[in-house]
């Protein structure tokens, strides 16, 4: 199971989290988020190990702006949380790995994902809210049984030390990883590395 930690913005905290060797680290490039990286120096990300996929998170941003930030920060992946079309997603795959995020609730229609098959590398299933992630709330993971596609997916939304063991009970063949964010924070953008360390140990145990 792959582990992604998302929503850091402090250089020291970024280094601390990187020392735990997550597979992906996410950085919010959406200025309405409290985790927006704003003036983060690019050399902070350049110093990260090559084994960690640096992932930029966008909401309805232009392709040109996304490409500019990919070049500036050396991102390896992008996570698109807005209304991006399949063609929009596919346009970026010549540069980076592409995640397309969807807010999921009990009424979620998985057939809408059919148009994205072959246009994205991963889906990110998050809890549906009025915002764009970071809610700290879980969705009903049983709904994942309604997904019959082959594109691998991550889950996020409300993952915590209290429910992380239940994640390992998900046996869906396309389940690929988890995204840890707000329930592992002391404040928006600042991760509790001790709690993350415990979560990593649980997730990586056989």
C-alpha dist (Å) from residue 165 to 105, 195, 204: 21, 14, 11
Instruction: Give me the pLDDT at residue 37, please.
Output: 95
Write the pLDDT tens digit of every residue in 152-183: 999 999 999 999 999 999 999 999 999 999 99
Write the pLDDT tens digit of every residue in 63-98: 999 999 999 999 999 999 999 999 999 999 999 999
For 87, the enclosing helix (H) or strand (E) is helix 86-91
C-alpha dist (Å) from residue 9 to 60, 78, 104: 21, 16, 26
Class of domain 2-204: alpha beta
What does the domain layout of the chain look like in residue ranges? 2-204
CB atoms within 10 A of CB 145: 11
Instruction: Give me the pLDDT at residue 130, please.
Output: 65
Q: pLDDT band at residue 206, thresholds of 50, 70 and 90?
A: confident
Over its C-alpha atoms, the chain yields an Rg (Å, rounded) of 16
Q: Pull the structure tokens for residue 176.
A: 């690929």
Residue 134 has pLDDT above 70, yes or no: no
3-state secondary structure of 67: helix
């Amino acid at each position: 199971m792959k582990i992604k930690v998302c929503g850091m913005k402090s250089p020291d905290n970024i280094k601390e989290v990187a020392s735990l060797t997550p597979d992906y680290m996410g950085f919010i490039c959406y200025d309405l988020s409290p985790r927006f990286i704003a003036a983060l120096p690019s050399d902070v990300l350049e110093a990260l190990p090559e084994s960690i996929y640096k992932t930029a998170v966008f909401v309805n941003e232009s392709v040109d702006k996304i490409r500019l930030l990919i070049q500036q920060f050396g991102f390896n992946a992008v996570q698109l949380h807005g209304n991006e079309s399949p063609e929009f997603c596919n346009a970026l795959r010549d540069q980076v790995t592409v995640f397309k995020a969807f807010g999921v609730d009990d009424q979620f229609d998985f057939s809408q994902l059919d148009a994205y098959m072959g246009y994205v590398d991963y889906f990110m299933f998050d809890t549906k809210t009025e915002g764009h992630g970071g809610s700290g709330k879980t969705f009903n993971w049983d709904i994942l049984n309604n997904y019959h596609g082959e594109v691998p997916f991550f889950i996020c939304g409300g993952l915590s030390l209290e429910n992380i063991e239940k994640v390992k009970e998900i046996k869906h063949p396309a389940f690929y990883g988890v995204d840890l964010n707000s329930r592992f924070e002391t404040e928006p953008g600042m991760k509790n590395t001790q709690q993350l360390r415990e979560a990593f140990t649980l997730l990586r145990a056989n």
